Structure 1
Amino acid sequence: MNVTHLYCSSCGKEYEPRRLYNLCDCGKPLMVAYDLEHVQTTLSRESLTSRVPTLWRYEEILPVDAQSNRITLGEGMTPLLKAERLGLLLGMGHLYIKDESLNPTASFKARGMAVAVSMAKELGVKKLAVPSAGNAAGALATYAAKAGLEAFIFMPSDTPSSNIIECQQTGANVTLIDGLITDCGRILSDRKEAEGWFDVSTLKEPYRVEGKKTMGYELAEQLGWELPDVILYPTGGGTGLIGMWKAFDEMERMGWISSQRPRMVSVQASGCAPIVEAFNSGSQFGAEITNAHTIASGLRVPRAIGDFMMLDILRNSGGSAVAVTDEELLWAVKEIGVAEGIFVAPEGGACLPALKQLISQGKVSRDERVVLFNTGSGLKYLEAFGMLEQK
């Protein structure tokens, strides 16, 4: 067992490992700490060459002990694709797309739920619950089914139909709510104690971020252990952004990478951009967005519990936060598709107009190595593209 303890991301309070926790007593997210010196007795950069091509190749820096509790559908080790034709259009020679749509359930959410559900099984949980704008729900439903656990899901009624059907067809208990993901979260919170549900909401338990951090490990491995200059990441709850930053810290402490860090860029939709607004105003926390709206359902998170962590990462890395319109991100999906043959989700599409903004502002140079994250498949958002065609 390589986990030494859990610690609060805000106040630093430590907690014993291998127990069920949601948030710290202060109400902020908990993170997992490892004995990295012990980790290195079996895990090295060289050892990875012969390992399984899933996120479980990094098993020593993941929290699940028993191999029998590791629920897997082949998640992780998604391709890092050089976007040559798109780069040519932008005058860039080192542009890449990390394509998370090839995960099980067709989104990056599979990473976090694979680890969270595995830990829930290991710690004896029987019922899991989550509020979701779509892809997290599908991932929970799928991995809970694989683990033989019950899943209770609360989604806005205007969630893409593919996500709703996905959850229903994998046996989850689905409740649709007339409201936003924050409204779903409040209902779950009010009922979970009486119903016996364990809440696996974004950053309200410690283990989804551990699955998401493997994107950072993969990125380093795929680039020969030299991180890119800039990472553009579509941000709702922000677990992936926080997870990758944690991965970079762990790898540096193990001597795998240098202290050089990418400039991290949070990309949001203009109709729901709490991180962008807080970044631009110099705030430590984001204010909740009223009447949040965007066709990119994964970006429709009015307030993120990990906002203070994201804002610290953006500022400490010399990065930034960018908002784009729904029309821009939807057209970008087609631009990426025509140039690279990748049908990205609207969230992934948002990274392209954000990159164009940063280039025009002189914040990104065309000769830098830049990675855009596509967090899911466009196939899960077909209604959104129908709306575009009507315009």
Structure 2
Amino acid sequence: MTEDHLICISCGSSEDIAKVPSTCPACGGILDLVLGSDAPSRVAGPGVWAWASRLPAVRPQNRITLGEGATPVLQASRLARQKGLSDLWIKTDSLMPTGSFKDRAIAVATALACEYDRPGMVLSSSGNAGASGAAYAARAGRPIVILVPRTAPPAKLRQIAITGARLVTVDGPTSECCRLAEELSRERGWVNLTTTFHNPFGVDGYATIAYELAPLKPDVLLLPISSGPLLVGLMKGFEHLHAIGAIDRVPRPVAVQPTACAPIARAFDAGGDVGPWAHQPTIASALNDTLEGYENNGDYTLAKIRRHGGAAIAIAEAQILHSQRELASAEGILLEPSAAITIGAIAPLLAAGLITPDERVVAVGTGHGLKDLSAVSLDTASGATSPQDLLREI
């Protein structure tokens, strides 16, 4: 057993990190990475490895990086006033090397595949994780197979294809891709990079967002989620900071999902567990995961939300698109619909008393708008005009 190890949250079994497992071999449960108790501190290191003290032990030559992490956190004062908040910030993980927050998780998992010399990697993705996995596999010089729903945004598919990764489009939802990735991982001995809880190392990659946000002392975190490793990772980071006395409180997490695919939000409202959800299309394609066959992922996320007095909320399609335009026009920050969805949550959260106007609210911008501009039309864009109309107007 290496110093770093994994613990199953269901049966308590320990697993050697050197096996780079996906789920608990004993019961199929979610694995949690257990590290030492040292405080996270930035060190001289590239990318996410600046936080190496709170990541799995990996030799320097295997710390794969494209310069991820340390993204700007921007105050959105104009948008805050429009929304009835006094203090709103956007953590722009949309500015990561491949355009999404997934780079944090993928960098860590790819490094472990190299550290323990695994023969290959595989992942299921709605698009963003696939683009990230393809780029980091290329950086590491490792083979990878990426399973993506055929309905994924074309820009994301092209971003994967250009790296030379083996891209497989699947006629079915993300949950079907996830099932196939787990099967390939088990049969071939490949590392499963899928950024559900099938990649237990990714959670600690996302914890680095908490370390970067800690000086801001947020009260509330607005997080777009499908299964929830982003939320669990941030809470793990803040919990650790609180345990060692580095912060005096842990922020409340708010999970935001599209109404077309909201198994966690529905379970939160009902006060129960995550149940089956029928697949249907949504403009927030990165969040379109029904969790079919791994509903326990959603339950794990729900437990974190409830433990910290958080909430989960679903946002309608029209409001998602309005929020994307609202953020871009008010602050110049272009996020894809799956990331801008958090802005649409502010009004209903205020109305329900789940957040208050004087709290410091941080929305994590998980994906760049250039990832998916499919719903943006020049015919309806503010300011779109012809030269003839312009001459008549001035």
Task: Tell me if TM exceeds 0.5.
Answer: yes
Secondary structure of 2:281 counterpart: coil
Do 2:222 and 2:253's aligned partners in 1 also have CA atoms closer than 8 Å? yes
Q: Which residue of 2 aligns with 1:32?
A: 33
* Partner secondary structure for residue 280 of structure 1: helix
Q: Letter of the aligned partner of 1:327 in structure 2?
A: A
Q: Counterparts of 1:194 and 1:51 in 2: how far apart (Å)?
A: 39
Distance in 1 between residues matched to 2:16 and 2:183, nearest whole Å? 27
Deviations 1:280-310 (A, max 9, x none): 1111x31131123211111101015421221
Matched, 1:295 2:290: no
Aligned to 1:238: 228
Q: Which residue of 1 aligns with 2:386?
A: none
Equivalent position of 2:58 in the other structure: 65
Q: CA deviation at 1:253?
A: 2.6
Equivalent position of 2:258 in the other structure: 269
Does the residue aligned with 1:356 lie in a helix, a strand or coil?
helix
Work out whether residues 105 and 203 of structure 2, in 8 Å CA contact, stay in contact via their aligned partners in 1.
yes
User: Is residue 201 of structure 2 the alignment partner of residue 207 of structure 1?
Assistant: yes
Q: Which amino acid letter does the alignment assign opposite residue 290 of structure 2?
A: P
Please point out which of 177, 181, 189 is paired with 1:184. Answer: 177
- The code of the aligned residue for 1:266 comes to A
CA distance in 2: counterparts of 1:251 and 1:308, whole angstroms:
24
Asked if the contact 1:53–1:77 (Cα under 8 Å) also holds between the matched residues in 2, the reply is no
- Name the Cα RMSD after superposition: 2.0
Residue aligned with 2:89, SS? strand
What is the one-letter code of the residue matched to 1:296?
A
The amino acid that maps onto 2:133 is L
1:246-292 C-alpha deviation (Å, 9 max, x unpaired): 1112212332112x221211100000000011111111x31131123
Query: What amino acid is the match of 2:329?
Result: V
Task: Name which of 330, 338, 343 aligns with 2:321.
Answer: 330
* Structure 2 residue 262 is matched with structure 1 residue 281: no
In 1, are the aligned partners of 2:225 and 2:287 still within 8 Å (CA)?
Answer: yes
Q: Deviations over 1:226-262 (max 9, x none)?
A: x31111100112111010111112212332112x221
Q: Of 74, 85, 96, which residue of structure 2 is paired with 1:81? A: 74
Aligned counterparts of 1:10 and 1:215: Cα–Cα separation in 2:
26
Q: What is the deviation of 1:65?
A: 2.2
Distance between the aligned counterparts of 2:93 and 2:349, measured in 1?
A: 23
Which residue is 1:110 aligned to?
Answer: 103
Unaligned runs of 5+ in 2: 382-394
2:33, 2:182 → 1: CA distance?
23
Inter-partner Cα distance in structure 1 for 2:47 and 2:138: 19
Percent identity at matched positions? 36
Equivalenced residues, count = 376
Quick one: distance in 2 between partners of 1:233 and 1:366?
18
2:239 is aligned with 1:249 = yes
Change (3 A) 1:159 1:389: farther
* Paired residues of 1:332 and 1:349 also in contact (CA < 8 A): yes
Distance in 1 between residues matched to 2:10 and 2:358, nearest whole Å: 37
2:311 equivalent in structure 1: 320
Further displaced range: 128-137 or 21-30? 21-30
The alpha carbon displacement at 1:85 in A equals: 0.6
Given that 2:2 and 2:17 are in contact with CA atoms closer than 8 Å, whether structure 1 keeps it comes out as no
**Residues of 2 paired with 1:305 and 1:111: CA distance?**
23
Please list the CA deviations of residues 14-43 of structure 1 after superposition, one character each: whole Å capped at 9, or x if unmatched: 22333321111221211111121xx35xx5
The alpha carbon displacement at 1:170 in A equals 0.7
Per-residue CA deviations over 1:173-206 (Å, capped at 9, x if unaligned) read: 0111121111112233344444453322221132
SS at match of 1:213: helix
Asked if the contact 2:118/2:189 (under 8 Å) is kept, the reply is no
Name the aligned partner's letter for residue 372 of structure 2: Y
Matched, 1:360 2:351: yes
2:163 corresponding residue in structure 1? 170
Aligned to 2:392: none
- What are structure 1's unaligned runs of at least 5 residues? none
- TM-score norm. by structure 2 comes to 0.90
- In structure 2, what is the Cα distance between the partners aligned to 1:347 and 1:71? 27
